[in-house]
Amino acid sequence: MNRDNERQRQQRDNREALAARGWGGLQTQVDDIEIGQGRLVAANRSGSKTAVFKTEYQSG
């Protein structure tokens, strides 16, 4: 599986997970993602909206 396919699969999995938690109506452009200290921070370009998700992140 190439990198683009893996990224598309991960994005689909993320959308499905959010929809299952009731976030299905949230539509926003994400321009910056930062992962660290057990958090995933997604912000749009204007910086006016920031979503913070607690996540279990493992590399590899």
Helices of type H across 1-60: 3-20
| Residue 27 falls in which region: left (phi positive, over 0), alpha (psi -120 to 50) or beta | beta
What tokens appear for 8 in the block? Answer: 């598309």
Summarize pLDDT for 21-44 with one digit per residue, the tens.
665 555 556 666 666 666 666 665
Amino acid at site 36: G
Task: Name the band, by pLDDT with cuts 50, 70 and 90, for residue 57.
Answer: low
pLDDT at residue 45 greater than cutoff 70: no
pLDDT at residue 11 greater than cutoff 80: yes
Whether residue 49 contacts residue 32, with contact meaning beta carbons closer than 8 Å, is answered with no
Sketch the domain layout of the chain as residue ranges.
3-54
31 burial level (CB within 10 Å; 0-12, 13-18, 19+): exposed
Look up the pTM and report it.
0.32
